[in-house]
């Protein structure tokens, strides 16, 4: 998901040039059928948009956001960062918004619904996100309140020490798998000398779309696509110690490892680096399959795409005319709309950018074991991948492409 940022580079650069108000830059529209002069509407709408203006200023101008001004106190007691939707999508306030309206639930509770469209798919802009959130009126002020906080009250619970699992009525919960997950997680914590975790809250639903629904999200760009199979997967919010996953989540260690890495780094601001995804895939899993399965797929993929140059970029390559991936697009004709990145935004196939980093983890384990890899985790950012790889693995950037290809061909 984090690679989605790459798609907004053009979009963002326009903002840097434009001298407009933040609200104008955010492209906010209200449905034409709504009476925008209504006092109640104006108050709630302005409150909601002011919040997003502040998020936008924080993103682009580094102005701080006073979350206490916008979120109900109860949400801070439940989550480190109360904006559950923001932590899932990371970007909604940057996208063109169509504000759909407000419904009153009782004298002090309102529900607002908003729709966001993708910019990167211009000119055929697509729907990106649809969600609603509650707004509470208290002492004349408005505060946001997650729908998730209400939805989760209906779930069943299983607890074992630090692990708290919540699942829907129709979820087929496997008790033995849950115990196995707990033991696997504890073994990993011990092997790595990671910190024993604070409670982790794990939410399970039969399908990915139901999972989004629990989180308060009606629609996200990557659903309703795999028409021939059920979409699986999930996500974690390490700073709030939350994980969401579809059926079979009891076997999923990947998202837990994100939280363990977060604890290991003692992050205040949560960052999800490329190496983290590799680490979680290598020691955990990726979409229900172990690293070895994906490593074989990566080997075949790279052999079929010799123009991908991992010394050029470890995360991005361009699919040209729906046939081959290229890292260098200088000498080939391509249409930006026909390009695609190595990450899988839309389906459940292997995310190659993750598995490339998982292969780096395997190489690191062979060269120096867990202590070396832990040191890399502490020093790496997405800007210094090549430097850290050279420093700790002794592989120069110019040699990395052939090194990884040879490594996969020899071992898988």
Query: Nearer to Zn ion by C-beta: 114 or 315?
Result: 315
* Proportion of the chain in helix, strand, coil states, percent, rounded to 5: 45, 20, 35
Residues 6+ apart with CB under 8 A from 289: none
Q: Which of 148, 322, 180 is nearest to 249 (CA)?
A: 180
Spell out, one character per residue from 112 to 141, where the chain touches Zn ion: x when CB under 5 A holds, - when not. ------------------------------
What does the angle CA 315 – CA 317 – CA 320 come to, to the nearest 5 degrees?
160
Query: Nearer to Zn ion by C-beta: 277 or 362?
Result: 277
CB of 22 to Zn ion, least distance (A): 31
CB of 275 to Zn ion, least distance (A): 11
CB of 277 to Zn ion, least distance (A): 5
What does the angle CA 342 – CA 348 – CA 349 come to, to the nearest 5 degrees?
50
Contact (CB, 8 A) for 167 and 156: yes
Query: Nearer to Zn ion by C-beta: 280 or 308?
Result: 280
CB of 3 to Zn ion, least distance (A): 12
Q: Which of residues 249-278 bind Zn ion (CB under 5 A)?
A: 277
Q: Which of 345, 363, 355 is nearest to 308 (CA)?
A: 355
Query: Nearer to Zn ion by C-beta: 11 or 264?
Result: 264
Residue linked to tokens 């960052």: 271
CB of 395 to Zn ion, least distance (A): 24
Distance CA 176, CA 184 (A): 12
Query: Nearer to Zn ion by C-beta: 75 or 277?
Result: 277
- Counting every residue written for the chain, the total comes to 412
For Zn ion (CB under 5 A), the number of binding residues is 2
Distance CA 16, CA 166 (A): 43
Query: Nearer to Zn ion by C-beta: 28 or 280?
Result: 280
Residues 6+ apart with CB under 8 A from 294: 281, 286, 350, 354, 355, 358
Q: Which of residues 274-303 bind Zn ion (CB under 5 A)?
A: 277, 280
CB of 269 to Zn ion, least distance (A): 18
Query: Nearer to Zn ion by C-beta: 97 or 250?
Result: 250
CB of 284 to Zn ion, least distance (A): 8
97-106/28-30 β-pairing = parallel
Spell out, one character per residue from 173 to 212, where the chain touches Zn ion: x when CB under 5 A holds, - when not. ----------------------------------------
Interacting residues toward Zn ion by CB under 5 A: 277, 280
């Amino acid at each position: 998901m984090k690679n989605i940022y790459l798609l907004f580079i053009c979009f963002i650069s326009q903002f840097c040039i434009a001298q407009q108000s933040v609200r104008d830059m955010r492209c906010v529209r209200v449905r034409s059928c709504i009476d925008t002069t209504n006092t109640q509407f104006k108050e709630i709408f302005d409150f909601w948009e002011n919040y997003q203006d502040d998020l936008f200023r924080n993103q682009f101008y580094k102005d701080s956001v006073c979350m206490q001004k916008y979120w109900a106190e109860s949400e801070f007691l439940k989550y480190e960062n109360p904006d559950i939707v923001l932590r899932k999508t990371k970007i909604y306030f940057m996208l063109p918004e169509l504000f759909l309206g407000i419904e009153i639930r009782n004298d002090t509770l309102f529900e607002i619904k908003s729709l966001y469209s993708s910019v990167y798919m211009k000119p055929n802009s697509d729907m990106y996100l649809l969600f609603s959130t509650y707004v509470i009126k208290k002492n004349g002020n408005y505060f946001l309140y997650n729908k998730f906080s209400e939805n989760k009250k209906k779930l069943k619970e299983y607890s074992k020490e630090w692990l708290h699992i919540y699942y829907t009525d129709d979820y087929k919960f496997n008790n033995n798998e849950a115990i196995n997950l707990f033991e696997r997680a504890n073994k990993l914590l011990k092997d790595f000398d990671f910190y024993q975790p604070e409670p982790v809250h794990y939410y399970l639903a039969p399908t990915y779309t139901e999972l989004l629904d629990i989180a308060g999200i009606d629609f996200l760009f990557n659903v309703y696509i795999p028409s021939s199979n059920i979409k699986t997967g999930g996500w974690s919010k390490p700073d709030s110690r939350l994980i969401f996953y579809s059926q079979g989540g009891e076997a999923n260690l990947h998202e837990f490892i994100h939280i363990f890495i977060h604890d290991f780094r003692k992050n205040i601001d949560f960052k999800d680096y490329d190496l983290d995804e590799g680490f979680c895939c290598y020691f955990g899993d990726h979409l229900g399959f172990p690293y070895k399965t994906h490593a074989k797929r990566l080997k075949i993929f790279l052999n079929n795409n010799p123009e991908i140059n991992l010394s050029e970029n470890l995360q991005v390559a361009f699919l040209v005319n729906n046939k081959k991936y290229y890292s260098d697009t200088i000498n080939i004709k391509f249409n930006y709309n026909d390009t695609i990145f190595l990450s899988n935004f839309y389906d459940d196939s292997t995310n190659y950018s993750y598995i490339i980093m998982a292969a780096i983890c395997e190489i690191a384990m062979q060269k120096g074991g867990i202590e070396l890899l832990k040191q890399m985790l502490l020093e790496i950012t997405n800007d210094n991948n090549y430097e850290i790889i050279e420093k700790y693995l002794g592989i120069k950037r110019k040699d990395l492409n052939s090194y990884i290809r040879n490594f996969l061909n020899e071992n898988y």
